[in-house]
Structure 1
Amino acid sequence: MGKEESISSRQFVLLVLLFTVGSSIIIIPSSLVITASQDGWISAIVASIIGLGLAYLYSSFPKRYPGMNLPSIAELVLGKFLGRIIIVFYFFFCFTLAALVLRNFGDFMKTKIMLETPLEAIHIMFLIPVIYAVKLGLETYSRVAEITFPFVVLMFIILVGLTSPQINLTNIQPIAGEGLKTIFGGSLSMVGVPFLELVILTTFYTSINHPEKTRKSFLLGVTLGSSILIVTTLFTILVLGVELTKLKVYPTYVWAKKISIADFLERIEVTVAALWGITLFFKLVLSFHASLIMLKKLFNLKDYRLLVIPMSFILYIYSLIAYPNSAYFIDFATKTWLAYALLFGLIFPLLLLIIGSFKGKGQS
């Protein structure tokens, strides 16, 4: 493959943050409010605390297995046969997530912005820069993350600042009125998307040039990303109210449409589309890239780049048949996907750590 790719701990923080925000910023508020009503923002806080716990779990790997990533650890701990079975499972998890993320973008653009454009064309337009980014490698698109991150922050500040005059505090009252059971139940959807999915980032551990800072970077990235999601959920409820948030598939976009300053500054909801598009791009790139690394390990290939073009065609087709419509996806993401994510994001990592500790492997 040539020179090993290398990223700084700061770049890893940004990748974790962008992955966390990803598809979540525009779909999570609705799923939280459907379950927890006006307490959806509290559910987001609970989910974020669980997310930090998961980040702590995932960042245990570099200390126990220095210089190794997820597929290598699976093969070391479980042996070649069982390890490769786990790698196959993780490939399908990463690849399926990439297909779902691509379809999320296509559905949003098709229903809200590019109404007359075929879904297939939207997918192709978005997939081309993704292919280019993965071909260039982790080191290159991590630098792009550094360049685009200030714009993400600026757009988010503009969105929050310009809609602040329209908040209605009665929309979140009574606080905790739905009870603790409902609050914890509502948090599950956000635990599944995106926190359990963060296990994918363990695939890139071998590229972090200061592995001793991995835990700090992971926790910081999750903290910053979850803070954006909490504020987004809170403001969506405060501005739109519970009932309207429940009814809308993309409530964050509707929230942005509320911006109106002196009948002059209006219709700048495109900021949400841009914010979401940037974060979604990195989540798709990381998921697709991780799936190729799994295949590289599985077939002992020298370079994953050989697989980028052929697998992108399969990804394109997979994204078109992934699910029938956006409403179906919301239900799928909060129920069925949670079960899959628990298997890959909690059970398998715990098993690798527990079995590895019993076998005494991976000690430096």
Structure 2
Amino acid sequence: MLEQGRLGTRQLTTLTFMMVVGDMMLIYPSVITSYAKQDSWICAFIGVPLGMALMAMILKLCSMHPEKNLVQMARSILGFWPGTFFSCFYLFFFIIGASTHTREVGDFMTTQIFQYTPIRIIILMFVIVIGWGVWHGLETMGRSSELLMPVVIVFIVVLAVCLLPQVDTSNLKPVSDTGVVSISQGILVSIIYPIGEVVPIMMILPYAAKQAHQTRDMLIAAGLGSLILATLVTISLLVLGAFLTQHNIYASFVLSQKISIGSFFERIEAIMASSWMISTYFKAMIYLYAFIVGCAELFKLKQYRMLVLPASILVFGLANLVSPSITFIVITVVPYWVDWDTTLGIILPGCLLLIQWLKSYRKSSVTPNNSQQ
């Protein structure tokens, strides 16, 4: 197999959690509030069980081909050439996803923290780090996420608790006044952004050790990640209100700037930035890993490490080309990214699952007839 390392269930669940939270920790409140306004907290909490259902669908598809990654699965279900063409859509999605997450890091750091540092320097440093992580293999990635996930969770809990004195429940009114269409769009965003972007996990599952409760733990990790994001949305609405949440791209970062307890525990936004960088790092690294392993599988290579350097250079170039500014991402990329995630995160996996079910049903119906003859 291309990957010799093996993930335990704990490492697999922590990687799943990191992918769900990922870059959404900062931008999710702004994105979902732009659709559902003050009712975005309702959409976010409704999206938790629905997102777990989507995760269950993805895991069900993988369980039908437990030893195959996404490329092998597509070729097995659709045939060699249709499966190869189908896989190319996902490989393009993986490389663009890694590049976009890298660009998000560059835009955030140069607009909020290092205003006078060229964005290409930030992007180059981030690409070197994710490339180095992919080079060391899947097992190292899993163990690193296991060590760093508590940092992300603890800070989000601290953020929520420290902002309780500034909560204003009137910011949630009027409830359910945004219309059915807006709430439906908010629910779709609450499903597709956190969970729909976990599709690269299908490139990792074949290299995880088969242990008890693996599916249950991954569903819990996906649900916990969605619940944390829903909590961030609610806190953001309660403290900032719908208007400020919608128009602050990095709403969670703004929230961390508002923490002030006893005139000594304040200005902890650097910790928020560090937590977001950790989760985004793992998400971008898994996207890059999925692209590299997918290309190696597509071209029947014996090992994937020879592709790490050229793929990292490609991510660096695309991260500089994917958008000219953060404004372009917010106005142009984000509205269409929902459709892209919906296609690749719900529709195409659903089609694969349906085709596999039809093939299994046809095979099971033909077998009794042959035995009777």
Q: Give the structure-1-normalised TM-score.
A: 0.95
Say if 2:273 is the partner of 1:273.
yes
* Residue identity in the other structure for 2:193: V
* Cα separation, 2, equivalents of 1:176 and 1:233: 16
* Cα distance in structure 2, aligned partners of 1:203 and 1:276: 24
**Is 1:224 aligned with 2:196?**
no
**Residue 355 of structure 1 corresponds to which residue in structure 2?**
355
- Tell me which moved more, 235-244 or 108-117: 235-244
Report the Cα distance in structure 2 between the residues aligned to 1:192 and 1:319, rounded to whole angstroms.
22
Aligned partner letter, 2:101: V
Residue 223 of structure 1 deviates from its aligned partner by 0.6
Superposed displacement of residue 239, structure 1: 0.9
Deviations 1:225-280 (CA, angstroms, capped at 9, x unpaired):
00110110000111111221122111111111001122222211112101100000
Deviation at 1:332, TM superposition (A): 4.0
In structure 2, the CA distance between the partners of 1:339 and 1:3, relative to structure 1 (3 Å rule), is: closer
Q: Which amino acid aligns with 1:279?
A: S
Residues 208-217 or 99-108, more deviating: 208-217
Pair 1:166–1:67, CA change in 2 (3 A) = same
Q: CA deviation at 1:357?
A: 2.4
Measure, in 2, the Cα distance between the counterparts of 1:26 and 1:303.
36
**How far 1:178 moved relative to its partner?**
2.2
1:94 aligns with 2:94: yes
Residue 251 of structure 2 is aligned to residue 246 of structure 1: no
| CA distance 1:164–1:94, change in 2 (3 Å) | same
Q: Distance in 1 between matches of 2:346 and 2:118?
A: 38
TM-score, normalised to structure 2, is 0.93
Residue matched to 2:313: 313
Contact 2:6 2:209 in 1 (8 A): yes
Aligned AA (2:239): V
User: Match for residue 49 of structure 2?
Assistant: 49
Runs in 1 of length 4+ with deviation above 4 angstroms? none
Q: Structure 1 residues 41 and 3 mapped into 2: Cα distance closer, same or farther (>3 Å)?
A: closer
Q: Give the alignment of 1:1-364 within 5 angstroms.
A: 4-210=4-210, 213-360=213-360
Unaligned runs of 5+ in 1: none
Cα drift, residue 2 of structure 1? 7.5
Superposition deviation, residue 307 in structure 1: 0.2
Task: Report the Cα distance in structure 2 between the residues aligned to 1:2 and 1:224, rounded to whole angstroms.
Answer: 31
Deviation per residue, 1:281-321 (Å, 9 max, x gap): 00000000001111011110111111000111111010111
Report the secondary structure of 1:60's partner residue. helix
Is the Cα–Cα contact under 8 Å of residues 257 and 268 in structure 1 kept in the other structure? yes
Deviations 1:307-345 (Å, cap 9, x if unpaired)?
000111111010111112223323445421122222211
In structure 2, give the amino acid aligned to 1:209: A
In structure 1, give the amino acid aligned to 2:192: G
* Distance (whole Å) between structure 2 residues aligned to residue 210 and residue 2 of structure 1: 18
Contact 1:47 1:191 in 2 (8 A): yes
How large is the Cα RMSD of the aligned pairs?
1.9
Asked if the contact 1:74/1:87 (under 8 Å) is kept, the reply is yes
Q: Alignment identity in percent?
A: 31
Of structures 1 and 2, the larger Rg is shown by 2
Give, as a single letter, the amino acid of the residue that structure 1 aligns with 2:344: F
